A and B are shown apart, each in its own frame.
Chain A
Amino acid sequence: MLAIKKKLLLLIILTGLIGSVGCRTLLAPEYDKAIVETISTVSEKTMSLFAKVSEGTSNLNFSEREEEYNNLIGAYDALKIKAKARPIPKNTATKKINELLGTRGNALSGDYPSAFAFEKIANTLRKMKEKDRSSVIKPTAIAAFKGQVEIFLDQALTYESFLKR
């Protein structure tokens, strides 16, 4: 009899807990293997372009690089669209978690940091292409373009890989 009472009490406690926490939830987009693989391929091509122009560029032979710029910009724009195309469902648990975090001033946004990074990489390459076409890009400026791309790439790749739960 005592054992049944204990089980019943435990069941009541657990039902109460489940009732308050809700159900399983999804707070971030699903992992997409294709995105991670594409980042890897496109980043290799990007680093190859930077290796070719590390000594600087002259607009005299810009046409040799134009297609490469266009392909890379197109690839990063496509990655941005793919990254943002994953919906994050809103359910009771999501609402509850955000409420809990919000009360302490730490509400988490459902933004897509990888999509933001892809957009910034595409913009960086656009700027580099524009500069390459119109004048010269000197070695330190090339290093700064490369550094900017690498930092955003690390952000995108780290986030996308972390989505693999």
Chain B
Amino acid sequence: MNDNVLEIINDIKEVATNILQKDISTVRGFSERQVEAIAKQTIIIQKGVLNGDIDEDLKEFFLDGLEAMALNFVNTLKGILLVTVEKIWNAIVDRLLSVIDSIT
């Protein structure tokens, strides 16, 4: 393979890896916080139902809330992933355009 092509491939790999490494650490921290908080919330609801602090109406409300927060946790991850995909895509396009500029 042409040396220049190999160089471009390696550049693109490096750009993508750098973006992924940075973004994955954010995703990991967020996921850990959310999973722990959702687990704690479940325990609070359970405790409230058992000690009578949470009545039937509130129980339904908080259970719906748990479902909504789990759904939006996944949607937030998807949203973050979309930003990461965008950053990698644009970095690749920028790299390719800069190589074309340097040739022409």
List residues of chain A with CB under 8 Å of any chain B CB: 6-7, 9-11, 13-15, 17-18, 21-28, 93, 97, 101, 108-114, 116-117, 120, 124, 127, 131, 138-141, 143-144, 147-148, 150-152, 154-155, 158-159, 162-163, 165
State the Cβ distance, A64 to closest chain B Cβ, in Å. 22
**Residue numbers in B under 8 Å from A165 (CB-CB):** 83, 86-87
A-B contact number at CB 8 A: 148
Q: Which residue of A lies closest to B89 (CB)?
A: A25
Contact with A along B30-44 (1 / 0, CB 8 A): 100110011011001
Instruction: Give the one of B8, B47, B68 with max A CB within 10 A.
Output: B68
Chain B contact patch, size range = 35 or more
Alpha-carbon distance between A28 and B82 when the two chains are bound, in angstroms: 7
For the residues of A in contact with B, the DSSP-based class is helix
Alpha-carbon distance between A93 and B94 when the two chains are bound, in angstroms: 13
B69 touches A148 (CB 8 A): yes
Alpha-carbon distance between A20 and B5 when the two chains are bound, in angstroms: 16
Q: Which residue of A lies closest to B3 (CB)?
A: A6
B69 touches A152 (CB 8 A): yes
A10 and B103 in contact, given A111-B75, A152-B69, A155-B69 (Cβ under 8 angstroms): yes
A18 and B44 in contact, given A27-B85, A147-B37 (Cβ under 8 angstroms): no
**Residue numbers in A under 8 Å from B40 (CB-CB):** 147
Partner of B2 from A6, A112, A147 at Cβ < 8 Å: A6
